[in-house]
Chain A
Protein backbone atom coordinates (compact mmCIF):
# COMPACT_ATOMS: atom_id res chain seq x y z
CA UNK A 1 0.00 0.00 0.00
CA UNK A 2 1.49 3.32 -0.99
CA UNK A 3 0.86 4.88 2.44
CA UNK A 4 3.34 2.43 3.92
CA UNK A 5 5.89 2.58 1.13
CA UNK A 6 6.23 6.33 0.69
CA UNK A 7 9.24 7.91 2.36
CA UNK A 8 7.92 11.44 2.77
CA UNK A 9 6.54 10.63 6.24
CA UNK A 10 10.07 9.64 7.27
CA UNK A 11 11.37 12.91 5.91
CA UNK A 12 8.75 14.78 7.91
CA UNK A 13 9.90 12.87 10.95
CA UNK A 14 13.50 13.87 10.24
CA UNK A 15 12.34 17.48 10.05
CA UNK A 16 10.64 17.11 13.45
CA UNK A 17 13.85 15.80 14.94
CA UNK A 18 15.98 18.58 13.47
CA UNK A 19 13.46 21.11 14.77
CA UNK A 20 13.51 19.54 18.23
CA UNK A 21 9.76 18.91 18.26
CA UNK A 22 9.04 17.36 21.67
CA UNK A 23 5.26 17.03 21.67
CA UNK A 24 3.06 15.80 18.83
CA UNK A 25 -0.71 16.02 19.10
CA UNK A 26 -2.86 14.06 16.71
CA UNK A 27 -6.18 12.44 16.00
CA UNK A 28 -5.49 9.05 14.41
CA UNK A 29 -5.41 9.29 10.64
CA UNK A 30 -4.51 6.88 7.84
CA UNK A 31 -2.49 9.44 5.90
CA UNK A 32 -0.40 10.25 8.95
CA UNK A 33 -0.11 6.63 10.08
CA UNK A 34 3.59 6.25 9.33
CA UNK A 35 4.55 9.60 10.90
CA UNK A 36 2.46 8.85 14.00
CA UNK A 37 4.19 5.48 14.28
CA UNK A 38 7.63 7.11 14.11
CA UNK A 39 6.67 9.70 16.74
CA UNK A 40 5.25 7.07 19.08
CA UNK A 41 8.46 5.06 18.83
CA UNK A 42 10.70 8.03 19.69
CA UNK A 43 11.68 8.35 23.35
CA UNK A 44 12.16 12.12 23.10
CA UNK A 45 8.77 12.87 21.57
CA UNK A 46 5.63 12.81 23.67
CA UNK A 47 2.77 11.65 21.47
CA UNK A 48 -0.58 12.96 22.62
CA UNK A 49 -3.63 11.36 21.07
CA UNK A 50 -6.51 13.85 21.09
CA UNK A 51 -10.26 13.40 21.13
CA UNK A 52 -10.67 16.46 18.91
CA UNK A 53 -8.17 18.57 17.00
CA UNK A 54 -8.89 21.80 18.88
CA UNK A 55 -7.36 20.20 21.96
CA UNK A 56 -4.09 20.20 20.05
CA UNK A 57 -4.15 23.97 19.49
CA UNK A 58 -4.32 24.46 23.27
CA UNK A 59 -1.72 21.73 23.86
CA UNK A 60 0.72 23.50 21.54
CA UNK A 61 0.19 26.78 23.39
CA UNK A 62 0.90 25.12 26.72
CA UNK A 63 3.99 23.42 25.35
CA UNK A 64 5.38 26.74 24.13
CA UNK A 65 4.66 28.40 27.48
CA UNK A 66 6.78 25.66 29.00
CA UNK A 67 9.58 25.98 26.45
CA UNK A 68 8.83 23.03 24.19
CA UNK A 69 7.88 22.80 20.54
CA UNK A 70 4.73 20.94 19.57
CA UNK A 71 3.41 19.94 16.15
CA UNK A 72 -0.12 18.86 15.26
CA UNK A 73 -1.18 16.19 12.79
CA UNK A 74 -4.72 16.18 11.51
CA UNK A 75 -6.99 15.44 8.61
CA UNK A 76 -8.65 18.28 6.71
CA UNK A 77 -11.91 17.75 8.59
CA UNK A 78 -10.04 18.53 11.82
CA UNK A 79 -9.22 22.06 10.67
CA UNK A 80 -12.85 22.98 11.08
CA UNK A 81 -12.82 21.72 14.65
CA UNK A 82 -9.99 24.13 15.49
CA UNK A 83 -11.35 27.44 14.28
CA UNK A 84 -12.30 29.14 17.56
CA UNK A 85 -9.26 27.75 19.35
CA UNK A 86 -7.04 29.34 16.69
CA UNK A 87 -7.92 32.62 18.41
CA UNK A 88 -5.60 31.56 21.24
CA UNK A 89 -2.68 31.29 18.84
CA UNK A 90 -3.66 34.46 16.99
CA UNK A 91 -4.13 36.66 20.05
CA UNK A 92 -1.01 35.48 21.86
CA UNK A 93 1.12 34.70 18.79
CA UNK A 94 1.71 31.11 19.78
CA UNK A 95 3.65 29.04 17.25
CA UNK A 96 1.33 26.53 15.66
CA UNK A 97 2.60 24.03 13.15
CA UNK A 98 0.01 21.79 11.55
CA UNK A 99 0.42 19.02 9.01
CA UNK A 100 -2.93 18.43 7.35
CA UNK A 101 -3.74 15.40 5.23
CA UNK A 102 -6.33 16.37 2.65
CA UNK A 103 -9.62 14.65 1.92
CA UNK A 104 -12.35 15.69 -0.40
CA UNK A 105 -10.21 16.26 -3.46
CA UNK A 106 -8.31 13.96 -5.83
CA UNK A 107 -10.33 10.79 -6.43
CA UNK A 108 -12.26 11.18 -3.20
CA UNK A 109 -15.00 8.57 -3.12
CA UNK A 110 -16.84 9.93 -0.09
CA UNK A 111 -18.94 13.02 -0.83
CA UNK A 112 -19.21 13.82 2.89
CA UNK A 113 -15.51 14.76 2.91
CA UNK A 114 -15.86 17.42 0.24
CA UNK A 115 -17.60 20.26 2.14
CA UNK A 116 -14.81 20.63 4.70
CA UNK A 117 -11.94 19.61 2.45
CA UNK A 118 -13.02 22.22 -0.08
CA UNK A 119 -12.79 25.15 2.35
CA UNK A 120 -9.66 24.23 4.30
CA UNK A 121 -7.39 26.57 2.40
CA UNK A 122 -9.54 29.74 2.44
CA UNK A 123 -10.57 29.04 6.01
CA UNK A 124 -6.98 28.78 7.22
CA UNK A 125 -6.15 32.02 5.40
CA UNK A 126 -9.08 33.75 7.11
CA UNK A 127 -7.52 32.60 10.36
CA UNK A 128 -4.25 34.32 9.40
CA UNK A 129 -2.38 31.07 8.84
CA UNK A 130 0.44 30.66 6.35
CA UNK A 131 -0.65 27.86 4.07
CA UNK A 132 1.58 25.60 1.99
CA UNK A 133 0.57 22.69 -0.16
CA UNK A 134 2.69 19.67 -1.01
CA UNK A 135 1.66 17.49 -3.94
CA UNK A 136 4.92 15.79 -4.94
CA UNK A 137 6.95 13.63 -2.52
CA UNK A 138 10.17 15.51 -3.22
CA UNK A 139 8.79 18.86 -2.12
CA UNK A 140 7.44 17.76 1.27
CA UNK A 141 10.60 18.13 3.29
CA UNK A 142 11.56 21.55 1.96
CA UNK A 143 8.10 22.89 2.64
CA UNK A 144 8.13 21.43 6.13
CA UNK A 145 11.46 23.09 6.87
CA UNK A 146 10.04 26.45 5.83
CA UNK A 147 6.99 25.81 7.99
CA UNK A 148 9.16 25.13 11.03
CA UNK A 149 10.98 28.42 10.55
CA UNK A 150 7.77 30.40 10.15
CA UNK A 151 5.98 28.74 13.04
CA UNK A 152 8.66 28.74 15.71
CA UNK A 153 10.88 31.54 14.45
CA UNK A 154 8.17 34.03 13.60
CA UNK A 155 5.56 32.65 16.02
CA UNK A 156 2.95 32.12 13.35
CA UNK A 157 0.18 29.69 12.54
CA UNK A 158 1.41 27.51 9.69
CA UNK A 159 -0.36 24.70 7.89
CA UNK A 160 1.21 22.29 5.45
CA UNK A 161 -1.51 20.68 3.36
CA UNK A 162 -0.54 17.23 2.17
CA UNK A 163 -2.64 16.76 -0.90
CA UNK A 164 -4.69 13.66 -1.48
CA UNK A 165 -2.70 13.04 -4.62
CA UNK A 166 0.42 12.74 -2.46
CA UNK A 167 -1.17 10.47 0.10
CA UNK A 168 -3.06 8.28 -2.29
CA UNK A 169 -6.73 7.54 -2.32
CA UNK A 170 -8.18 5.76 0.65
CA UNK A 171 -8.16 2.01 0.16
CA UNK A 172 -10.96 0.11 1.83
CA UNK A 173 -9.95 -3.29 3.08
CA UNK A 174 -12.65 -5.84 3.63
Chain B
Protein backbone atom coordinates (compact mmCIF):
# COMPACT_ATOMS: atom_id res chain seq x y z
CA UNK B 1 0.00 0.00 0.00
CA UNK B 2 1.33 3.40 -0.87
CA UNK B 3 0.67 6.32 1.39
CA UNK B 4 -0.41 9.90 1.60
CA UNK B 5 2.74 11.57 2.88
CA UNK B 6 4.32 14.03 0.48
CA UNK B 7 7.94 13.07 -0.12
CA UNK B 8 9.55 16.51 -0.02
CA UNK B 9 7.67 17.47 3.13
CA UNK B 10 8.62 14.14 4.68
CA UNK B 11 12.34 14.68 3.94
CA UNK B 12 12.09 18.22 5.32
CA UNK B 13 10.44 17.02 8.49
CA UNK B 14 12.99 14.26 9.09
CA UNK B 15 15.92 16.63 8.74
CA UNK B 16 14.36 19.84 10.13
CA UNK B 17 16.55 19.70 13.21
CA UNK B 18 19.46 17.83 11.71
CA UNK B 19 22.23 17.44 14.25
CA UNK B 20 25.84 18.21 13.36
CA UNK B 21 26.67 14.55 13.67
CA UNK B 22 24.12 13.22 11.17
CA UNK B 23 25.52 11.98 7.85
CA UNK B 24 23.04 11.27 5.07
CA UNK B 25 23.30 8.89 2.11
CA UNK B 26 20.29 9.08 -0.23
CA UNK B 27 19.59 6.51 -2.92
CA UNK B 28 19.89 7.29 -6.61
CA UNK B 29 16.98 9.13 -8.15
CA UNK B 30 14.13 10.67 -6.23
CA UNK B 31 15.54 10.56 -2.70
CA UNK B 32 18.69 12.29 -3.95
CA UNK B 33 16.53 15.04 -5.47
CA UNK B 34 14.48 15.24 -2.25
CA UNK B 35 17.60 15.68 -0.16
CA UNK B 36 19.06 18.26 -2.55
CA UNK B 37 15.79 20.21 -2.39
CA UNK B 38 16.47 20.94 1.28
CA UNK B 39 19.66 22.76 0.35
CA UNK B 40 23.14 21.43 -0.19
CA UNK B 41 25.24 20.03 2.64
CA UNK B 42 28.76 18.60 2.59
CA UNK B 43 27.61 15.82 4.90
CA UNK B 44 25.37 14.43 2.14
CA UNK B 45 26.78 11.80 -0.18
CA UNK B 46 24.40 11.99 -3.12
CA UNK B 47 24.10 8.92 -5.30
CA UNK B 48 23.52 9.22 -9.03
CA UNK B 49 24.03 5.50 -9.58
CA UNK B 50 25.12 2.37 -7.69
CA UNK B 51 21.54 1.13 -7.44
CA UNK B 52 21.20 -1.31 -4.56
CA UNK B 53 24.28 0.03 -2.81
CA UNK B 54 22.98 2.85 -0.60
CA UNK B 55 22.45 0.79 2.56
CA UNK B 56 25.88 -0.83 2.28
CA UNK B 57 27.59 2.54 1.80
CA UNK B 58 25.79 3.51 4.99
CA UNK B 59 27.11 0.41 6.75
CA UNK B 60 30.75 1.04 5.81
CA UNK B 61 30.39 4.65 6.88
CA UNK B 62 28.64 3.83 10.15
CA UNK B 63 31.31 1.29 11.10
CA UNK B 64 34.07 3.79 10.28
CA UNK B 65 32.38 6.64 12.17
CA UNK B 66 30.93 5.13 15.34
CA UNK B 67 30.57 8.53 17.01
CA UNK B 68 28.34 9.92 14.29
CA UNK B 69 24.89 8.82 13.16
CA UNK B 70 24.29 7.74 9.58
CA UNK B 71 20.93 7.86 7.83
CA UNK B 72 20.45 6.08 4.51
CA UNK B 73 17.28 7.48 2.96
CA UNK B 74 16.39 5.59 -0.19
CA UNK B 75 13.46 4.43 -2.32
CA UNK B 76 11.65 1.11 -2.40
CA UNK B 77 13.09 0.10 -5.76
CA UNK B 78 16.65 0.85 -4.68
CA UNK B 79 16.14 -1.05 -1.43
CA UNK B 80 14.63 -4.05 -3.21
CA UNK B 81 17.72 -4.32 -5.41
CA UNK B 82 19.93 -4.43 -2.32
CA UNK B 83 17.66 -6.47 -0.09
CA UNK B 84 20.48 -8.86 0.85
CA UNK B 85 22.24 -5.93 2.46
CA UNK B 86 19.51 -5.82 5.11
CA UNK B 87 20.68 -9.29 6.18
CA UNK B 88 24.30 -8.13 6.16
CA UNK B 89 23.46 -5.03 8.23
CA UNK B 90 21.20 -6.98 10.56
CA UNK B 91 24.00 -9.18 11.80
CA UNK B 92 26.51 -6.31 12.09
CA UNK B 93 23.86 -4.28 13.89
CA UNK B 94 25.69 -0.96 14.15
CA UNK B 95 24.05 1.28 16.75
CA UNK B 96 24.48 4.38 14.63
CA UNK B 97 22.87 3.37 11.33
CA UNK B 98 19.31 4.09 10.22
CA UNK B 99 17.91 2.80 6.94
CA UNK B 100 14.81 4.71 5.87
CA UNK B 101 12.84 3.72 2.80
CA UNK B 102 10.54 6.17 1.06
CA UNK B 103 8.02 3.68 -0.29
CA UNK B 104 5.66 4.84 -3.00
CA UNK B 105 5.25 1.42 -4.59
CA UNK B 106 6.57 2.56 -7.95
CA UNK B 107 9.77 3.11 -9.89
CA UNK B 108 9.38 6.88 -10.24
CA UNK B 109 12.46 7.56 -12.35
CA UNK B 110 11.51 5.16 -15.09
CA UNK B 111 7.85 5.98 -15.55
CA UNK B 112 5.98 4.92 -12.44
CA UNK B 113 5.99 1.18 -13.08
CA UNK B 114 4.81 -0.79 -10.02
CA UNK B 115 7.41 -2.14 -7.61
CA UNK B 116 7.13 -5.30 -5.53
CA UNK B 117 5.95 -3.37 -2.48
CA UNK B 118 2.80 -2.36 -4.32
CA UNK B 119 1.95 -6.05 -4.57
CA UNK B 120 2.49 -6.67 -0.91
CA UNK B 121 6.20 -7.18 -0.28
CA UNK B 122 6.68 -5.94 3.27
CA UNK B 123 10.08 -4.29 3.76
CA UNK B 124 9.40 -3.68 7.45
CA UNK B 125 8.87 -7.42 7.87
CA UNK B 126 12.09 -8.11 5.98
CA UNK B 127 14.07 -5.73 8.19
CA UNK B 128 12.54 -7.23 11.31
CA UNK B 129 13.44 -10.71 10.12
CA UNK B 130 17.00 -9.54 9.46
CA UNK B 131 17.47 -8.45 13.05
CA UNK B 132 17.20 -4.66 12.94
CA UNK B 133 16.81 -3.26 16.44
CA UNK B 134 13.78 -1.11 15.73
CA UNK B 135 11.47 -1.35 12.73
CA UNK B 136 8.91 1.37 12.09
CA UNK B 137 6.11 1.56 9.58
CA UNK B 138 5.44 5.27 9.14
CA UNK B 139 2.08 6.08 7.61
CA UNK B 140 1.14 9.52 8.91
CA UNK B 141 2.47 12.83 10.24
CA UNK B 142 2.57 11.55 13.79
CA UNK B 143 4.69 8.59 12.76
CA UNK B 144 6.96 10.89 10.81
CA UNK B 145 7.39 13.15 13.84
CA UNK B 146 8.33 10.10 15.91
CA UNK B 147 10.89 9.02 13.31
CA UNK B 148 12.35 12.54 13.20
CA UNK B 149 12.68 12.46 16.96
CA UNK B 150 14.40 9.08 16.88
CA UNK B 151 16.84 10.19 14.18
CA UNK B 152 18.39 12.54 16.73
CA UNK B 153 18.86 9.97 19.44
CA UNK B 154 18.65 6.39 18.13
CA UNK B 155 21.03 3.94 19.74
CA UNK B 156 20.34 0.74 17.82
CA UNK B 157 20.09 -0.18 14.15
CA UNK B 158 16.91 1.43 12.91
CA UNK B 159 14.73 0.65 9.93
CA UNK B 160 11.77 2.72 8.85
CA UNK B 161 9.47 2.46 5.90
CA UNK B 162 7.76 5.77 5.11
CA UNK B 163 4.58 5.42 3.05
CA UNK B 164 4.75 8.31 0.62
CA UNK B 165 2.47 9.30 -2.23
CA UNK B 166 3.49 8.44 -5.77
CA UNK B 167 4.04 11.96 -7.02
CA UNK B 168 6.93 13.44 -8.90
CA UNK B 169 7.97 16.89 -7.71
CA UNK B 170 10.35 18.94 -9.88
CA UNK B 171 13.86 17.57 -9.85
CA UNK B 172 16.47 19.40 -7.83
CA UNK B 173 19.84 18.24 -9.04
CA UNK B 174 22.85 18.33 -6.71
CA UNK B 175 26.52 18.21 -7.62
CA UNK B 176 27.17 15.08 -9.69
CA UNK B 177 30.96 15.01 -9.77
CA UNK B 178 31.58 11.87 -7.72
CA UNK B 179 35.19 12.69 -6.88
CA UNK B 180 34.20 16.15 -5.63
CA UNK B 181 31.34 14.71 -3.57
CA UNK B 182 33.69 12.20 -2.00
CA UNK B 183 36.45 14.69 -1.25
CA UNK B 184 34.22 17.32 0.31
CA UNK B 185 32.43 14.71 2.41
CA UNK B 186 35.73 13.42 3.78
CA UNK B 187 36.95 16.98 4.37
CA UNK B 188 33.75 17.80 6.28
CA UNK B 189 34.46 14.81 8.55
CA UNK B 190 38.12 15.66 8.85
CA UNK B 191 39.30 12.20 7.88
CA UNK B 192 42.61 11.32 6.34
CA UNK B 193 43.71 8.41 4.16
Contact = CB atoms under 8 A, between A and B. Distances in A.
Interface string B50-93: 11111111111111110000000000000000101101100110
A55 interface: yes
B20 to A, nearest CB: 16
Contacts of A50: 84, 88
A127 to B, nearest CB: 14
A55 B82 contact: yes
B142 interface: no
A66 B21 CA distance: 12
Interface string A54-94: 11111111111111101000000000000011011001111
Given A51-B84, A67-B65, A68-B64, A62 B49 contact: no
B64 A67 contact: yes
B64 A93 contact: no
Count class of interface residues, chain A: 20 to 34
Nearest to B179: A93
B49 A60 contact: no
Contacts, number: 118
Contacts of A58: 50, 52-57, 60, 82, 85
Nearest to A68: B64
Interface residues of B, number: 37
Interface stretch (B116-124, B161-169, B180-188): B180-188
A152 interface: yes
Contact of A65 (B49, B61, B192): B61
Contact of B53 (A66, A68, A70, A85): A85
A67 B186 contact: yes
Residue of A62, A67, A152 ringed by the most chain B CB atoms within 10 A: A62
A23 B55 CA distance: 16
Interface of A: 22-23, 46, 48-52, 54-68, 70, 84-85, 87-88, 91-94, 152-153
28 contacts: A22-B64, A46-B92, A49-B91, A50-B88, A52-B84, A54-B52, A55-B56, A57-B53, A58-B54, A58-B55, A58-B85, A59-B60, A61-B50, A61-B57, A61-B60, A62-B25, A62-B57, A62-B61, A64-B60, A65-B57, A65-B186, A66-B61, A66-B62, A67-B186, A68-B63, A84-B51, A91-B48, A94-B182
